[in-house]
Amino acid sequence: MTELTELTAVRLVEGYRKGEFSPVEVTRAALERAEAVQPEVNAFVRLTAEDALERARASRERWRRGAPCGLLDGVPVTVKDILLLRGAPTLRGSRTVSAQGRWDEDAPSVARLREHGAVFLGKTTTPEFGWKGVTDSPLTGVTRHPRDPARTAGGSSGGAAAAVALGAGPLALGTDGGGSVRIPASFCGIFALKPTYGRVPLYPASAFGTLAHVGPMTRDAADAALLMDVIGHPDSRDWSALGPAPGSFTEGLSGGVHGLRVAYSPSLGGQVAVRPAVAQAVRRAVERLAELGAYVEETDPDLTEPVDAFHTLWFSGAARVTQHLGPRRRELLDPGLREICAIGARYSALEYLAAVDVRMDLGRRMGRFHDAYDLLVTPTLPITAFEAGTEVPKGSGHRRWTGWTPFTYPFNMTQQPAATVPVGADGDGLPIGMQLVSARHRDDLVLRVAHALYEAGIATPVTSSGS
């Protein structure tokens, strides 16, 4: 029998309905798994075991009566420690945030999960204020890769990715301001979606503004669609949230890829040096897409490197989130964060608005690109997981994390839906991700194509026993 920690959320709900197992059994198994892996991997800020088991027992009774309260009743989920979870401090990886307080409010996505009966296992780790593409912080230390603890899990939703990969809950909520669900998902071999901006409401508003998205991190695309059906609804606290989705993401999974116009950009027109193992795995997956009936053309979007504009927006946001700190408390910050905050504080309003102009033009160019192509496919990252505890791979020559994430952050600037699916591994057994990008508001298409990849065996589902 497959271990309970190996089952998807879709399979868990089916099992509850049939009476094959109960939410209490599943929650206990997930908590035991989390406790077992925590000393080595450090995926959690805290586990909320008592609350989780209480919610699981209530769910068990609802299923016994045949009256579940929602789509995810009894399904374990973790929450990145950037998002508010009622009853638990949200410290955002920082020693500058006090744990004191009432902590009596849920973020919108968490509130929707609570309404649907989900079981909250705990809060997962993040770099300080989610500022970089790996997960370590002065507060919680280093989060490590589920297959090789000497390597990073990626970031900034690294704890969430490691938890899902290791079977500590099939669902996780992450945030993504420059790749922060896709980077760790690619490194850890799971699925993640950065939805169209506003599709999943965010409150409190991020200091990184409209770069920041909330997204699902899951074992496969079907689980992500189910999670999106729960969290992808408006919330009055987010003034920039979109209206209701036009239909169910789960119901939209069927249809396959036949006839879709797919643009394949292996290196953004030669701008990115992609490791051979990554390039080969992604190319094989793209060839399989063509075999499934997609019209594939190797071509590149007009994506002139926008890193300077992104840095202006990103560093300014970091400066804003730490603006209230005096000199003594500022010394508590991650040194790298402190450095970019100092840079961000020096930008003028005109420099910021010039970066906004670059962003708007990039969005226009990608909008025109998707007039011709339904989907853009790239590697998610040009590399696989590197050594833990560093912002950039040693010897890479990169100064900041954006140097090795050129495929991810541009699509935060354009607000497009972008997902990563695992399509193989390198010679060290480290997962490789392929990125799927579509036009704004076509989250359904990204999920549909990703689901087709899993159904065809092109995407490789993670197994916690093999991690």
Q: Catalytic residues, which ones?
A: 80, 156, 180
Q: Which residue has the tokens 């209490």?
A: 24
Please tell me whether residue 250 adopts helix, strand or coil conformation.
coil
Could you tell me if 178 and 214 are in contact, meaning their C-beta atoms sit under 8 angstroms apart?
Answer: no
CB atoms < 10 A from the CB of 45, how many?
24
Give the largest CA-CA distance in the chain: 62
Contact 333, 138 (CB under 8 A): yes
Q: How far is CA 43 from CA 33, 36, 169, 182, in A?
A: 11, 11, 12, 17
- 3-class SS at 242? coil
Element (DSSP H or E) covering residue 121: strand 119-124
**Can you tell me whether residue 440 is helix, strand or coil?**
coil
User: 258 vs 192, 220, 288, CA distance in Å?
Assistant: 23, 21, 12
Report the alpha-carbon angle 266-270-275, nearest 5. 60
How many other CB atoms sit within 10 Å of the CB of residue 77?
A: 31
Give me 141's structure tokens. 């230390």
- In the numeric block, the tokens 């853009």 are attached to 376
Task: Identify whether the C-beta of residue 378 lies closer than 8 Å to the C-beta of residue 266.
Answer: yes
Quote the crossing angle between the two packed helices 158-165 and 23-41, to the nearest 10°. Answer: 120
Strands 171-176 and 295-298: unpaired
At 292, list the tokens: 């499934």
Residue 125's nearest CA partner among 109, 114, 113, 139 is 139
Distance CA(165)–CA(176), nearest Å, equals 18
**Closest residue by Cα to residue 44 from 101, 102, 85:** 85
| Beta-bridge partner residues of 85 | 88
Placement of tokens 């920690």 in the chain: 5
**Unique residue bearing structure tokens 């035991």:** 32
